[in-house]
């Protein structure tokens, strides 16, 4: 069985980046009933375009319908499902039995995947969803690798399993949380989590509320169980030997750069193991690649142990952002070796930069010459979205990423 690498697609630009850099499939959401209401979600025309693009490139696309709708939302859900029925999604991701029932009523041929929000932690539960018509179960993040393997051995071969291997973790069980609702009236279970577990907190004495005190873990303050991020890049053999069908990257709220780097890195590692087998060797450069994206401290989550102590809690709620995403290559002339980029962040002549291309870790070079759109020499590119040219020391392709 060839495993699937599944990437997040918060918008069309992120979708294209994920596919170009090696994802086999993407998951996304429309403007309703998805668990990331804050993402730049697709409208109905955008969903159609996304499916057409994925299928034209031989890739799959899964629509997340994984909130838990309240009773008054079901008429809207039914209308929404009828509007989407002609769009050939490869599967719907659902968490709620009522939603699953509506999908089967309106789109009986649609493949159904059970979301991690359903908290499946046993073969018995997976089998029950299978009997109800599910084709795949996204297992709860709270399982160890040994437990995942045991579940795989106890279910039919045509019931697929999917697990998260990279990205943000939640301190609440499989993401079900009430803290956000309590503080902000934003329901985490309906896609609107404000992530209050990562805020900085203070304490006050009742008669001196104007004199708050911080209980400091470090210089940043004290945090309410802000978990570390999941990263399994150093454990690809164990993951692929588990016979799990799909390996999922979290991050619809993250950047285009994140979508590209995570897909590219896990693609390289997975392909290397599938190619080399017992001769496989972990490349430390892959870990360096993943360190380059915005993230919190990394950890292996629940895969190898139970996080019952502070080892799984981030000591700093802030994100680590070690590199700057400068821009994307939109054209390259092999004769002149001039590459045109669209700027996202500032770059200067003399600065060390890197090019990220599909299937490669970053290739480093020094920026010796830059030109504006009129091919006049410039010392830097100060304006967002401007086009500029760099003379490259090696060949690159449109879609490659420039970073520094």
Return all residues near 131 (Cβ < 8 A) that are at least 6 apart: none
For residue 212, pLDDT over 70 is answered with no
**Are 103 and 94 a contacting pair, CB within 8 Å?**
yes
Query: Of residues 204 and 82, which shows the higher confidence score?
Result: 82
For residue 186, pLDDT over 60 is answered with yes
pTM as predicted = 0.88
Judgement on whether residues 152 and 285 belong to the same structural domain of the protein: yes
For residue 339, pLDDT over 90 is answered with yes
Determine, yes or no, domain membership for 28.
yes
> What mean pLDDT do residues 205-232 have?
65
Give the count of beta carbons closer than 10 Å to the beta carbon of residue 119.
17
- Which of 251, 286, 312 is at the close of a domain? 312
Least confident of 194-203, 290-299, 338-347: 194-203
Judgement on whether residues 91 and 235 belong to the same structural domain of the protein: yes
For the chain, give the mean pLDDT. 89
Query: Helices in 173-235 by DSSP H: which ranges?
Result: 179-184
User: 330: which 2 tokens?
Assistant: 């939109």
pLDDT-derived band at 221 (thresholds 50, 70, 90) equals very low
**Per-residue pLDDT at 201:** 64
User: Which of 402, 398, 365, 362 minimizes the C-alpha distance to 381?
Assistant: 402
CATH no. for residue 70? 3.20.20.380
Least confident of 38-52, 216-230, 361-375: 216-230
> What mean pLDDT do residues 57-79 have?
96
Least confident of 4-18, 27-41, 55-69, 196-210: 196-210
**Per-residue pLDDT at 197:** 66
User: Which of 99, 8, 87, 78 minimizes the C-alpha distance to 47?
Assistant: 87
Helix 44-56 to helix 12-20 angle, to the nearest 10 degrees? 10
Judgement on whether residues 129 and 249 belong to the same structural domain of the protein: yes
Query: Helices in 173-293 by DSSP H: which ranges?
Result: 179-184, 236-240, 256-276, 284-291
Judgement on whether residues 262 and 368 belong to the same structural domain of the protein: no
Kindly state the percentage of the chain with pLDDT values over 90.
73
**Per-residue pLDDT at 182:** 65
Distances (CA, A) of 169 to 78, 273, 298: 31, 26, 10
Kindly state the percentage of the chain with pLDDT values over 70.
85
Judgement on whether residues 86 and 8 belong to the same structural domain of the protein: yes
CATH no. for residue 364? 2.40.30.10
CA separation for the pair 114, 117 (Å, rounded)? 8
pLDDT tens, residue by residue, 22-40:
999 999 999 999 877 655 7
Determine, yes or no, domain membership for 289.
yes
> What mean pLDDT do residues 283-310 have?
86
pLDDT tens, residue by residue, 342-391:
999 999 999 999 999 999 999 999 999 999 999 999 999 877 789 999 99
For residue 7, pLDDT over 70 is answered with yes
For residue 216, pLDDT over 50 is answered with no
Instruction: Look at residue 66 and give its three-state secondary structure.
Output: coil
pLDDT-derived band at 183 (thresholds 50, 70, 90) equals confident
Tokens 């649609």 appear where? 110
pLDDT-derived band at 66 (thresholds 50, 70, 90) equals very high
- Which of 312, 346, 380 is at the close of a domain? 312
Judgement on whether residues 129 and 79 belong to the same structural domain of the protein: yes
End-to-end CA distance of the chain: 38
For residue 309, pLDDT over 80 is answered with no
Q: How many CA atoms lie within 13 A of 248 on its CB side?
A: 29
Determine, yes or no, domain membership for 86.
yes
Judgement on whether residues 341 and 393 belong to the same structural domain of the protein: yes
**Per-residue pLDDT at 317:** 53
The total number of structural domains that make up the chain: 2
For residue 303, pLDDT over 90 is answered with yes
For 149, the domain range is 4-173+226-312
Determine, yes or no, domain membership for 197.
no
CA separation for the pair 168, 365 (Å, rounded)? 32
Judgement on whether residues 141 and 63 belong to the same structural domain of the protein: yes
**Per-residue pLDDT at 198:** 64
């Amino acid at each position: 069985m060839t495993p699937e690498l599944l990437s997040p697609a918060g918008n069309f630009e992120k979708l294209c980046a994920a596919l170009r850099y090696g994802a086999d499939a993407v998951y996304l959401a429309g403007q309703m009933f998805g668990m990331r209401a804050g993402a730049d979600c697709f409208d109905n025309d955008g969903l159609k375009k996304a499916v057409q693009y994925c299928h034209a490139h031989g890739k799959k696309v899964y629509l997340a319908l994984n909130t838990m709708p309240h009773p008054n939302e079901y008429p809207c859900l039914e209308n929404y499902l009828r509007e989407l029925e002609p769009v050939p999604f490869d599967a719907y991701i659902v968490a709620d039995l009522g939603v699953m029932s509506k999908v089967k009523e309106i789109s009986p041929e649609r493949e159904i995947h059970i979301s991690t929000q359903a908290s499946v932690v046993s073969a018995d539960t997976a089998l029950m969803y299978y009997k109800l018509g599910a084709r795949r179960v996204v297992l709860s993040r709270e399982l160890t690798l040994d437990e995942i393997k045991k579940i795989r051995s106890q279910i039919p071969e045509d019931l697929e399993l999917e697990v998260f291997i990279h990205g943000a973790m939640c301190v609440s069980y499989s993401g079900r949380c009430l803290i956000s609702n309590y503080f902000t009236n934003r329901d985490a279970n309906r896609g609107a989590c404000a992530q209050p577990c990562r805020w900085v907190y203070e304490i006050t004495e009742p008669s001196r509320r104007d004199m708050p005190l911080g209980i400091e873990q470090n210089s940043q303050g004290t945090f309410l169980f802000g978990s570390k991020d999941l990263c399994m890049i150093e454990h690809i053999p164990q993951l692929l030997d588990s016979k799990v069908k799909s390996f999922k990257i979290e991050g619809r709220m993250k950047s285009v750069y994140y979508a590209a780097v995570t897909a590219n890195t896990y693609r390289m590692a997975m392909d290397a193991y599938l190619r080399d087998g017992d001769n496989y060797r972990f490349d430390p450069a892959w870990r360096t690649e993943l360190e380059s994206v915005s993230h919190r401290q990394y950890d292996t989550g629940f895969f190898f142990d139970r996080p019952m102590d502070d080892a799984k809690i981030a000591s700093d709620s802030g994100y680590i952002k070690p590199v700057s995403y400068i821009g994307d290559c939109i054209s390259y002339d092999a004769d002149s070796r001039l590459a045109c980029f669209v700027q996202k962040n500032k770059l200067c002549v003399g600065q060390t930069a890197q090019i990220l291309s599909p299937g490669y870790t970053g290739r480093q070079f020094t920026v010796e010459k830059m030109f504006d759109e009129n091919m006049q020499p410039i010392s830097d590119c100060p304006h967002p979205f401007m086009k500029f040219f760099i003379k490259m020391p090696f060949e690159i392709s449109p879609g490659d990423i420039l970073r520094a």
